[in-house]
Amino acid sequence: MEKSKQPSKYSFSREWKIRYIPIISVMGALFILSLILIFVIPNKAPALPMPEEKKTKTGWPYHIVAPFVDLSSWVPLTSQYSLNGVPNLAKVEEQTGITYYNLGFIQPDMNKPLESDETIRWGWGGLFELSEKGNDGYQYPKIKQTIESLGKLGAKCTISVGGQLGNAPWIVTTNVDKLEEFYLDIINTYNIKRLDLDIEESNQVQSGNIANAKAIKRVQDATGIELSLTIPIMPSGWQDKQIKIIRAYLDEGVNISLINSMTMCYGTGVYSNEDYGDASIRAIENSVKQMREIWQSYGTTLSEEQAYLKTGATVDIGYESSLYPTFTPEMTKKVVQHAKEKNYGMLSYWSINRDAKMEANKGVADQFEFLAEMNKFYEK
């Protein structure tokens, strides 16, 4: 008769085999997998997280319609929108409910841009008398009034510096201290949270933008101001000049919240089978590819969705000149539809002055017809 087998002192109980050995095996496999991920798979630049909140730190939503207003453009005194010749934006707000505006343009005084100590003499439209210090007592108080009235009605304003005509502050001086002083003066005067740099024509000089970027970095560190860049574009995308400008600000560590492309005035850049609406869509699609490449070169991965979130498009509504086709509501509709599909950060147009019929424009038939198309951006 055989002796019964005695269990080894090293054997596992049935409970161990059922309960604990599978757990230990899984944990071991996870540990090995983690080592593979750390040491075998190469590291990549981290993707930026999409914002969980619907608004930025300064209270601006991530998707807005924000038309441009020319605050220094004369409005006839007979118009319902005239405040001593200044656009009455409270009246526009009451009629339309627009919440976000880009107000342009602040520039150095066209006749005497600098004081003897290089302090920038600035004003709306390049007129020192349209400023806090040069107050003409007639139009400037109404500029203050129209801006303050928007705040009381719950609207938010971005102030845009630069523009097509005249010299930008970074052209009249490259003194970083004086540029910083200039921006702080504007921010404190109008209590704004968002600033736009409209960089076009001769204001695209690289040396001036490098000095300006240094000043903007200081201002951002001191105030937390959000910054957008408004720059020219062609249907093929940004040209080398615009790419260098973007890099000038990124090189200094400036946080660019939005790049607003002026989707307009393409000249011969349009295909024979395109209108300006189609060309604008092509321009934005190309700029998104360029943006992702630029940010990647600084070690930051932008998804396509994130790049569109940092994208603005500003169309030039109605008639601009005989050099360009009239930009129609139908063209606007195309851009708006693409903006909805891709979730642009901002849609805009030049300008409320035209769309409200504060000024005559043969390409604008009905009051606020372009705004009606733009507001479809908000529709789900």
Closest C-alpha to 281, from 243, 331, 319: 331
Judge whether 124 and 143 are in contact, CB under 8 Å. Answer: yes
**Secondary structure class of 235 (helix, strand, coil):** coil
pLDDT at position 32 is 53
Closest CA to 288 of 267, 266, 253, 263: 263
Q: Which two tokens stand for residue 62?
A: 């991530």
Q: Which amino acid is at 380?
A: K
Secondary structure string (H, E, C) spanning 51-100: CCCCECCCCCECCEECCEEECCCCCCCCCCCEECCEECHHHHHHHHCCCE
Backbone angles phi, psi at 226, to 5 degrees: -80, 150
Looking at residue 80, its pLDDT comes to 97
- Dist. CA 249–CA 266, nearest whole Å: 25
Q: Which pLDDT value is given to residue 60?
A: 83
Strand partners, 197: 161, 229
Residue 112 and residue 118 in contact, taking contact as beta carbons nearer than 8 Å: no
DSSP at 169: H
CB atoms inside a 10 Å sphere around CB 267: 8
Contact present, 318 and 356 (Cβ < 8 Å): no
Q: For residue range 138-182, list pLDDT tens digits in order.
A: 999 999 999 999 999 999 999 999 999 999 999 999 999 999 999
DSSP 205-229: -HHHHHHHHHHHHHHHHHH--EEEE
Contacts (Cβ under 8 Å, ≥6 apart) of 118: 173, 175, 178
Q: What pLDDT does 35 receive?
A: 45
CA 183 – CA 57 distance, rounded (Å): 20
> How far is residue 232 from each of residues 121, 164, 227, 314, measured CA to CA in Å?
26, 10, 17, 10
**pTM score, two decimals?**
0.86
- Name 160's bridge partners: 196
Label residue 163 left, alpha or beta by phi (over 0 means left) and psi (-120 to 50 means alpha). left
φ, ψ for residue 168, nearest 5 deg: -75, 160
- Pairing relation of β-strands 122-124 and 100-108? antiparallel
Cα angle 183, 187, 192; round to 5: 135
Q: What is the CATH number of domain 64-378?
A: 3.20.20.80
pLDDT of residue 47: 38
Query: pLDDT tens string for the chain (380 positions)?
Result: 333 344 443 344 444 444 545 555 545 555 554 444 434 333 333 334 434 446 777 778 889 999 999 999 999 999 999 999 999 999 999 999 999 999 999 999 999 999 999 999 999 999 999 999 999 999 999 999 999 999 999 999 999 999 999 999 999 999 999 999 999 999 999 999 999 999 999 999 999 999 999 999 999 999 999 999 999 999 999 999 999 999 999 999 999 999 999 999 999 999 999 999 999 999 999 999 999 999 999 999 999 999 999 999 999 999 999 999 999 999 999 999 999 999 999 999 999 999 999 999 999 999 999 999 999 999 98
Query: Residue 56: what pLDDT?
Result: 77
Quote the pLDDT of residue 22. Answer: 52
- Per-residue model confidence (pLDDT) at position 197: 98
Q: Would you list the domain boundaries of the chain?
A: 10-40, 64-378
* Contacts with 3 (C-beta within 8 Å, 6 or more apart), sequence order: none
- What's the confidence (pLDDT) of residue 65? 98
